[in-house]
Structure 1
Amino acid sequence: MQISNKGLDLIKEFEGCSLVAYQDAVGVWTIGYGWTNPVDGVPVHVGMTITQAKADELLSEGVKQYEKPVKDNVTYALTQYQFDALVSFTYNLGATNFASSTLLKKLNAGETQVAADEFLRWNKAGGKVLFGLLRRRAYERDMFLGYTA
């Protein structure tokens, strides 16, 4: 299974796209669609710029590293919508947070409604509740439950 266009659209909508590097809500240098890893071996830094084509490439290639932890850790048979929501969640929070989450534990136990509700708990950055994360988690939860199909 791989992320669908709906899943990519979810990531694009909530990450936004910046062709100029900026510091996110917790001070991490970011570029493109929420990209924080090096670009062609160069760490993201003040003044860095990329093209739209590079931003699209980083997203399409980079999202694969966030599909992998979902595939590797989920034992529950997922729908496409559930997979998309989980990849978006993992793209935003990282593989380590996903792998150690109660969301994953509840999902693998077959408690899908409880797992869905766990999305909503991940609404903070730097210890502060952020409106954008509230919106994103609600959308991911709805997608996970098939409400945005």
Structure 2
Amino acid sequence: MDVSPIGRAALEGREGTRLTAYKDSVGVWTIGTGITTASGLIKVVAGLKITPLQSDALFAAALEKYAAPVRAALAKPVPQPFFDACVSLAYNIGPIGFAHSTVVRRANAGDLAGAVEAFLMWNKPAAIIPRRQGERDQAALASYDGAKVYARRGDRSPVKALAGSLPAPVSVPDPLAPMTGTKPPAATSARPSLFTRLVDLFLGRKAS
């Protein structure tokens, strides 16, 4: 299971996107769509700036990075909205915190309703509560058919997913190769992934 386009849009709405490094609410240097050094994707320091295209590549890579441990932690099939909300939670609290959460424990025990309510246990700092309520409401949906999804409970407008916004799986370890000096490995699939194409753009190479 992968993050859906609406799931991506909801997470993007919760995190916001900034192209210049800034300190988040707890003093951690952050850039793009909630990307920190802890992501392992880029070292975020004061003064760092990225382009919109680089931000998109980082966010897509981060989505897969956090979706993978969610898939590993959930032992039973779950609805798409629940999975997307879980990735949003893991993106915020980290994969280890998520794996040991009551959300996972209840979901794996077959208590999906209880797992939905367990999102609200992650309620510190207080400023995070509207986001957590939005994740809880998203997780409670059986499907996205006809449903409205809000990044945070109380938002005036629901999130909207752009067509084709679902990211491709990560195929290179560093989507910002020109910034770090790391060259990506040669593509192994017949059809280059989104990340391979983005890296080609960064390096000025012709698309294969």
Deviates more, 1:33-42 or 1:4-13: 33-42
CA distance 1:42–1:2, change in 2 (3 Å): closer
Map of 1:10-49 to 2, 5 A cutoff?
Answer: 10-37=10-37, 42-49=42-49
CA displacement, residues 105-134 of structure 1 (integer Å, 9 cap, x when unaligned):
01111111111111111121xxx311xx21
CA displacement, residues 80-129 of structure 1 (integer Å, 9 cap, x when unaligned):
111111111111111000011111101111111111111111121xxx31
Distance 1:75 1:41 in 2: 27
What SS does structure 2 have at the residue aligned with 1:63? helix
Check conservation: 2:41, 2:58, Cα contact below 8 A: no
Q: Percent identity?
A: 38
Deviates more, 1:76-85 or 1:37-46: 37-46
What SS does structure 1 have at the residue aligned with 2:36? coil
Q: What's the counterpart of residue 138 of structure 1?
A: 133
Query: 1:103 aligned to 2:103?
Result: yes
TM-score normalised by the chain length of structure 1: 0.90
Distance 1:139 1:38 in 2: 24
Q: What's the counterpart of residue 66 of structure 1?
A: 66
Deviation (angstroms), 1:50: 0.6
What SS does structure 2 have at the residue aligned with 1:77? coil
TM-score normalised by the chain length of structure 2: 0.65
Deviation (angstroms), 1:39: 9.1
Bigger Rg over Cα: 2
Check conservation: 2:36, 2:44, Cα contact below 8 A: yes
| Alignment gaps of 5+ in structure 2 | 142-146, 150-208
Distance 1:35 1:15 in 2: 9
Distance 2:62 2:40 in 1: 12
Deviation (angstroms), 1:41: 6.7
Deviation (angstroms), 1:148: 3.8
Q: What's the counterpart of residue 83 of structure 1?
A: 83
Check conservation: 1:89, 1:140, Cα contact below 8 A: yes
CA displacement, residues 47-69 of structure 1 (integer Å, 9 cap, x when unaligned):
11111111111111111011111
Check conservation: 2:41, 2:62, Cα contact below 8 A: no
Distance 1:23 1:12 in 2: 18
CA distance 1:41–1:110, change in 2 (3 Å): closer
Distance 2:15 2:83 in 1: 18
Distance 1:74 1:26 in 2: 29
RMSD of aligned residue pairs (Cα, Å):
1.8
Structure whose residues are more often helix by fraction: 1
Moved over 3 A (4+): 38-42
